[in-house]
Amino acid sequence: EALWLIVPAAGQGRRMGGDRPKQYLSLAGRPVLVHTLERLHRAYPRASLRLCLAPDDPWFDPAWVPFERWQRIAGGSERADSVLNALEELANRAAADDWVLVHDVARPCVHPDDLQRLLEVLAEEPVGGLLAMPVADTMKRADARGRVTATESREGLWHALTPQAFRYGLLRDALHGARERGVRVTDEASAIEALGLAPRLVPARRDNLKITHPEDLSLAARIFAVQAEEGKVPG
């Protein structure tokens, strides 16, 4: 079985509001995208990469890609469209039961232990799964004016992280189905769930931060430092 990696990196980073998309902002001296690709490459050195980039992206440098086999894919208007474009490019290459791992370029802190554990769990999973983290805070529901209408039980609630990994044929069918029905999906797992299947949650470390807001860049730099002190991750 081949392992395919899809990294959606065609976003604009609007919430970050930088002078360029957040994947090109500097984190510990190098673009966020470089960190993310290097972590994936160290964990999955023989995988083939599909990197989704905005068609008019002036920031990307192909010298940053550490993978031997990779291709650039034109991103779409939503994250799911970018991923589906990559899946379509694989139509004549991937087998239906090949694993496809999708990982946000904006998650450079994903730990090698989690990348390894995800693959180990998948070895005994027919459907697929994703890194996830149990919710720690009390959860409130509110109206549009910010008044609490209910306190929700956090029992059984998890944060969905990436990578998310599914069999090629299943994931392609799931995302096609979502597009055809006009359902907006923000991750791969929700498209799989819409088929009536139950993705496996793989408990992840708490430091798989998605860089979203300006303060996240310095947080991510601190996470790198802590991970380097723990070992396993080069400083």
The residues binding ligand CTP (CB under 6 A) are 8-16, 21, 23, 52, 75-79, 82, 104-106, 210, 212
Q: Residues in contact with Mg ion, total (CB under 5 A)? A: 1
Q: Using the minimum distance from each CB to Mg ion, give the nearer residue, 15 or 46.
A: 15
Give the whole-angstrom CA distance, residue 221 versus residue 119: 26
Give the whole-angstrom CA distance, residue 58 versus residue 60: 6
CB of 164 within 8 A of CB of 187?
Answer: yes
Least distance CB 235 / ligand CTP (angstroms): 25
Give the whole-angstrom CA distance, residue 218 versus residue 224: 10
Q: Which of ligand CTP, Mg ion, none has residue 52 at its interface (CB below 5 to 8 Å by kind)?
A: ligand CTP
Least distance CB 80 / ligand CTP (angstroms): 8
Least distance CB 54 / ligand CTP (angstroms): 8
Residue whose Cβ sits closest to Mg ion: 11
Q: Which amino acid, residue 141?
A: R
Q: Which of ligand CTP, Mg ion, none has residue 38 at its interface (CB below 5 to 8 Å by kind)?
A: none
Residue whose Cβ sits closest to ligand CTP: 11
CB atoms within 10 A of CB 142: 10
Q: Which of Mg ion, ligand CTP, none has residue 128 at its interface (CB below 5 to 8 Å by kind)?
A: none
Sorted by sequence, the CB contacts under 8 Å of residue 92 that are 6+ apart come out as none
Give the whole-angstrom CA distance, residue 56 versus residue 59: 9
Q: Which of Mg ion, ligand CTP, none has residue 167 at its interface (CB below 5 to 8 Å by kind)?
A: none
Quick one: residue 225, left, alpha or beta (phi over 0 = left, psi -120 to 50 = alpha)? Answer: alpha
Q: Which of Mg ion, ligand CTP, none has residue 66 at its interface (CB below 5 to 8 Å by kind)?
A: none
Least distance CB 108 / Mg ion (angstroms): 16
Site for Mg ion in 3-32 (CB under 5 A): 11
Give the whole-angstrom CA distance, residue 30 versus residue 134: 31
Least distance CB 11 / Mg ion (angstroms): 5
Sorted by sequence, the CB contacts under 8 Å of residue 182 that are 6+ apart come out as none
3-state secondary structure of 60: coil
Q: Which of Mg ion, ligand CTP, none has residue 10 at its interface (CB below 5 to 8 Å by kind)?
A: ligand CTP
What are the residues binding Mg ion (CB under 5 A)?
Answer: 11
